[in-house]
Structure 1
C-alpha cells in the first residue's frame, strides 16, 4: 500500500498515477510492495526530523526510514518540497522531474542501492533515470 501525506500546502496531482508508478518501480526490481508512506513537508519540518533521528543539523531533500524485510519493501519517505524546488532550479530541471527523482531515490534505497561512493552514486543516478522513464509507460 502506498500512501501520500502532506505536512505542507503542496499536494500531488493525480495520486493514483504516482501510486501506480511507485508500484512499477518496486515490481521492476523484483520486490514486493509493502507499506510505503510518502510525507511531503517543508525544510523546517524535515530539518527537525534530521536533527531528532539522525543528529544531522543540515537541510536535505529526503530522509527515508527503511522497514523493509527481505523482499517486502516498506518505509516512510519524508520529502522537503522546498528543497526539491531549490534543487530543480540548481540542476536546471522541472520541479516535477526532480520530485520524481527523489521519490524513486527513496524506493531504490529500500531495494538495496547505496549512494555513498562515486560508483554507487553513478549506479543510483542511472537507476533513478530508468525509474523516471517508467512513469509514462
Structure 2
C-alpha cells in the first residue's frame, strides 16, 4: 500500500495516478509492494529529520527509511518539496518531472540500488529514467 502524507501545503494533483505508477515501478523490479509512506514536507522539516536520524546538518531533497524485508518493499520516504523545486530550476526541468525522479529514487534504493560511487550513481540515473518513462502524462 502506498500512501501520501503532507507536512506542507503541497499536494499531489492525482494521487491514484502516482500510486499506480509507483506500483508499476515496484513490479518492474520483480519486487512486492509492502507499506510505503511518502511524506511531503519543507526544507526545515526534512533538515530536522536529517539531523535527528542521520546526524547530517545539511539540506537534502529526500531521506528514506528502508523497512524492506526480502522482496517486500516497505519504507518511509520524506521529500522536501522546497528542495525539489529549487533542484528542478537548477537542472532546467519542470517541477513535476524532478518530483517523479525523486519519488522513483526512493523506491530504487529499496530495490537495492545505491548512489555513493560514480558507477552506482550512473546506474541509478539510468534506472530513474527508465522508471520515469513508466509514468504516462496525458497530452
* Fold shared per TM-score above 0.5: yes
Equivalent residue, structure 1, for 2:13:
13
Partner of 1:114: 114
Identify the residue that residue 44 of structure 1 maps to in structure 2: 44
Deviation at 1:35, TM superposition (A): 0.1
Q: How many residues are treated as equivalent by the alignment? A: 137
> Which residue does the alignment assign to 1:93?
93
Structure 2 counterpart of 1:2 = 2
Correspondence for 2:75: 75
> Distance between the aligned counterparts of 2:39 and 2:122, measured in 1?
26
Deviation of 1:119 after TM superposition, in Å, equals 0.3
* Counterparts of residues 47-58 of structure 1 (less than 5 Å): 47-58=47-58
Deviation at residue 7 of structure 1 after TM alignment? 0.1
For structure 2, list consecutive stretches of 5 or more residues without a partner in the other structure: none
Pairwise CA distance, 1:11: 0.1
CA distance in 2, matches of 1:129, 1:65: 22
Deviation at 1:49, TM superposition (A): 0.1
The 4+ residue runs of structure 1 with deviation greater than 4 A are none
Q: What CA RMSD, in Å, does the superposition of the two structures yield over aligned residues?
A: 0.7
**Residues in 2 aligned to 1:130 and 1:116: alpha-carbon distance in whole angstroms:** 20
Residue 70 of structure 1 aligns to a residue whose secondary structure is coil
Q: Distance in 2 between matches of 1:99 and 1:105?
A: 10
